[in-house]
Structures are given as structure tokens and as C-alpha cells.
Amino acid sequence: MTPLDALQTALAAEHAALHVYGALGARTSLSATPLLYDELVAAHDAHRGLRDQLTELVREAGAEPVAAEPAYELPRALATPDHVTRAALDVERSCEATYVWVVEQTSGPERRVAVDALTHAAVRALAFRGSPEIFPGLRQ
């Protein structure tokens, strides 16, 4: 596995996260659940920024960035704000695991991006009722 492969894997994960967050945003309401809505919008914006940053890093490495899939599997239960919150937490936990792996595979500026992304995913997980973890992304 090369650092470029790790960046491409992270980029693919960001494409998936954006797709899921789009669906989650469609299942909530600014008027009915303003805090949840705001957190979902902030998370979507953060993942869009990471997608763009990873796209640029891949291009700088001389490669074609991996494209988004035409569709992604969505969580089945999205009927309530609690379901949406749980699904958002699952997205962030998945991103944490991806970025832990990317940290292992990279060094230098690419590792800094992965460490920052991991840190931000762990903080976003707290907004979705996650509990603090000593080592986010590592499942014991």
C-alpha cells in the first residue's frame, strides 16, 4: 500500500460520507430539529472540504482522483431524529477508522491531513452523542 493508495481510500470514504450526509440532511428539518440540522450541515461542509483537499493532494501526486460511486448504501432506519443522529455518528466512527489507517500509511503533510481529519471526526462524533475515546478510530 502506497501513501497515494491511502489518500485515494480516504477520498473514497469522503465521497461516501458526503452521500450519506446528503440523505441525512434530507431527513431532518431546520425548524423541527435546528441543532441536529446545524450539526449535519457543519459535518457535510467539513467532509466536502476534506474531499476537496484530498482531491488536490492526489492530483499533486500525479494521479487521477478516485471518482464517487453512482450510489451508496444508506442506513435503513432514518425515521426519527434519533435514527439520523445514530447514522451520523456511524459515519464519523467509520471516518475515524479510515483516518487511523491513513495515518499508518502516510508521513509528512499527508499524515498531517489524516491526523487533522481524525481529530475533527472524533469531535464531530461527540455532537452526534458519541462518547469520548482515548484513541478514536481504534476499536478495542
Domains present along the chain, CATH in parentheses: 3-67+76-127 (1.20.1260.10)
First and final C-alpha spacing in the chain: 24
* Largest separation between any pair of C-alpha atoms in the chain: 46
pTM exceeding 0.85: yes
- The C-alpha atoms of residue 37 and residue 69 are separated, in whole angstroms, by 25
Q: Mind listing the pLDDT tens digit for each residue in 49-103?
A: 999 999 999 999 999 999 999 999 999 889 999 999 999 999 999 999 999 999 9
Cell 464517487: give the residue. Answer: 68
The amino acid that residue 17 corresponds to is A
Dihedral-angle region of residue 62 (phi above 0 means left; psi in -120 to 50 means alpha; beta otherwise): left
pLDDT in tens, 1-33: 899 999 999 999 999 999 999 999 999 999 999
